[in-house]
C-alpha cells in the first residue's frame, strides 16, 4: 500500500521528469535559433531580472562591459581547468578570439534565452522539492533519498557550468557536457520514480525467459547514449561551420560536416533495428495493458518522430523546429528505454 506522502513524492518526481524534458526542449530551441548569447551575463540578463525589449534600455557601453566580464570569468575557469590538469582546454579558452567579440542586442534571442533560464529555474525548484519529499524514504528506501539529494548537487553543478557556457561564448565541448549532465539528471529522476512506484509491489512473473531481453535492452541503451553523444558532435561541427560562414548558406552546412554526420546517420539504422527487436521481444513476453508493452509502444512512436526530424535536418537545410524536436525526442527515447529497462529488470521468469 502506497501512503499519501509516498504518492506525493511520486507525483512531484514525475513532474520533475516532465520539466527536465522541457528544459532540454528549451535548450534545443535556444541552440537551433542561435540564442545562446541572447543574455551575455548570468544569472541576470543585461543586469536585469526582467530582460530589456529595446536597445535604448541598455547602457551605452554594454558591449565592452560584458566582454570584459566574460574574459575575467573565463580566466578563473581556465585556472580551475589548470588545477585539474586540463591545460590544453584552459589554453583553448584563453586563446579563443570569439570570446572577446561583442554580441549585438537582439530582443527575440534575448527573450528566448531568458525563457530557457526560467524553465531551468522551475526544474531546479522541482528537483529540490523531490529531494525534500524524499525524506520519507530515508529508512525504507535509502537509495531514493540519497539519489534525490545527489540530483540537487548535480543541478547546482549544471547551473555553475551554465554560467561558463555563457561566458565562453558557447564553447562547443562545454555545451555538450551541459547536455550530457542533463541526461544524468533525467536518468536519476526516472530511476527514483520507478523505484518508488515499484517499492511495495511484488516483481512481475512471466512464463518466458527474461534474461535475453534485459541484456539486449541494456545494449540498446548504450547504443542510444552513443548516438546522442555523436549527435552532439554533429551539432558542434554544424555550429563551427555556421560561425565560419557568418550563419549564411544554411543549405550547405550538412555537406561540410564530414564523416561524423555519416556515422551518426548510419548508427540511426542500428538504433532502429535494436528498438524493433526490443519491441518484438516485449510483445512476445507481455500482453494487454502490461506496463512494459505500453512503454515499448511509446518507444516506437518516439523513434518515428525522431527519424522524421532527422530526415528534415539532413534534407531540408536544418530547420530550427526540427532541431529542437530532434533533441527532445532523442532524449525521450533514452528516457523510455531506461524506464522499460527498470520495469523489465524487476520481472522474473516463472520456475515450477
Per-residue pLDDT tens digits for 118-172: 898 899 999 999 999 999 998 888 999 999 999 999 998 887 777 666 556 556 6
- How many residues belong to the chain? 352
Please answer whether residues 193 and 17 qualify as being in contact, where contact means their C-beta atoms are separated by less than 8 angstroms: yes
- How far, in Å, CA of 81 to CA of 85, rounded? 6
pTM here is 0.85
Sequential DSSP letters for 38-69: SSSSSSSBTTBSS--SSGGGS-TTHHHHHHHH
What is the average per-residue pLDDT within 71-93?
74
- Give 336 or 46, the one with higher predicted confidence: 336
What is the average per-residue pLDDT within 17-33?
87
For residues 63 and 181, membership in a common domain is answered with yes
Per residue in 292-306, pLDDT (tens digit) is 899 999 999 999 999
Nearest Cα to Cα of residue 109 among 169, 193, 42, 51: 51
The CA–CA distances, whole Å, from 298 to 240, 290, 315, 339 equal: 35, 13, 26, 11
- Give 30 or 204, the one with higher predicted confidence: 30
Check pLDDT > 70 for residue 207: no
Angle subtended by helix axes 4-32 and 107-133, to nearest 10: 160
Res 164: pLDDT: 66
For residues 247 and 315, membership in a common domain is answered with yes
pLDDT-derived band at 13 (thresholds 50, 70, 90) equals: very high
- How far, in Å, CA of 352 to CA of 205, rounded? 12
Check pLDDT > 80 for residue 245: no
Residue-number span of the structural domain to which 314 is assigned? 203-352
Measured at the alpha carbon of residue 328, what is the angle toward residues 51 and 222, in degrees to the nearest 5? 135
For residues 27 and 103, membership in a common domain is answered with yes
For residues 60 and 88, membership in a common domain is answered with yes
Of 149, 179, 201, the last residue of a domain is: 201
- Give 226 or 320, the one with higher predicted confidence: 226
Tell me the H-state helices in 286-319.
291-315
Question: Among positive and negative, which fits the CA dihedral 259, 179, 217, 284?
Answer: negative
For residues 196 and 210, membership in a common domain is answered with no
What is the average per-residue pLDDT within 183-204?
88
Question: 194: burial class by Cβ within 10 Å (0-12, 13-18, 19+)?
Answer: buried
- Give 280 or 287, the one with higher predicted confidence: 280
By mean pLDDT, which of 83-87, 121-125, 285-289 is the weakest? 83-87
Check pLDDT > 90 for residue 44: no
Res 64: pLDDT: 75
Of 154, 169, 201, the last residue of a domain is: 201
Of 182, 201, 220, the last residue of a domain is: 201
Res 139: pLDDT: 87
Amino acid at each position: 500500500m502506497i501512503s499519501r506522502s509516498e504518492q506525493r513524492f511520486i507525483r512531484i518526481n514525475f513532474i520533475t521528469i516532465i520539466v527536465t524534458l522541457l528544459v532540454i526542449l528549451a535548450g534545443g530551441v535556444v541552440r537551433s535559433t542561435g540564442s545562446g548569447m541572447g543574455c551575455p551575463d548570468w544569472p541576470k540578463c543585461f543586469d536585469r531580472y526582467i530582460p530589456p525589449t529595446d536597445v535604448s534600455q541598455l547602457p551605452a557601453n554594454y558591449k565592452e562591459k560584458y566582454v570584459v566580464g566574460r574574459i575575467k570569468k573565463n580566466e578563473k575557469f581556465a585556472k580551475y581547468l589548470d588545477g585539474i590538469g586540463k591545460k590544453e582546454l584552459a589554453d583553448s579558452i584563453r586563446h579563443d578570439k570569439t570570446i572577446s567579440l561583442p554580441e549585438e542586442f537582439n530582443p527575440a534571442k534575448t527573450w528566448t534565452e531568458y525563457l530557457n533560464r526560467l524553465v531551468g529555474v522551475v526544474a531546479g525548484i522541482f528537483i529540490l522539492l523531490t529531494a525534500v519529499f524524499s525524506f520519507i524514504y530515508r529508512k525504507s528506501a535509502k537509495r531514493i533519498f540519497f539519489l534525490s539529494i545527489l540530483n540537487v548537487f548535480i543541478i547546482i553543478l549544471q547551473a555553475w557550468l551554465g554560467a561558463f557556457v555563457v561566458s565562453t561564448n558557447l564553447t562547443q565541448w562545454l555545451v555538450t557536457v551541459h547536455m550530457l549532465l542533463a541526461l544524468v539528471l533525467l536518468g536519476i529522476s526516472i530511476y527514483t520514480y520507478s523505484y518508488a512506484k515499484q517499492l511495495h509491489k511484488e516483481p512481475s512473473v512471466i512464463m518466458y525467459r527474461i534474461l535475453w531481453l534485459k541484456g539486449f535492452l541494456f545494449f540498446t541503451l548504450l547504443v542510444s547514449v552513443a548516438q546522442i553523444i555523436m549527435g552532439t558532435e554533429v551539432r558542434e561541427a554544424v555550429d563551427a561551420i555556421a560561425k565560419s560562414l557568418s550563419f549564411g548558406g544554411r543549405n550547405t552546412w550538412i555537406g561540410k560536416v564530414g564523416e561524423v554526420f555519416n556515422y551518426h546517420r548510419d548508427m540511426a539504422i542500428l538504433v532502429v533495428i535494436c528498438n524493433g527487436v526490443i519491441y518484438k521481444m516485449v510483445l512476445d513476453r507481455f500482453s494487454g495493458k502490461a506496463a512494459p508493452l505500453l512503454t515499448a509502444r511509446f518507444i516506437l512512436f518516439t523513434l518515428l518522430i525522431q527519424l522524421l526530424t532527422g530526415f528534415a535536418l539532413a534534407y531540408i537545410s536544418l530547420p530550427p523546429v526540427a532541431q529542437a524536436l530532434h533533441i527532445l525526442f532523442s532524449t525521450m527515447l533514452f528516457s523510455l528505454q531506461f524506464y522499460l529497462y527498470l520495469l523489465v529488470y524487476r520481472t522474473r521468469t516463472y520456475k515450477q
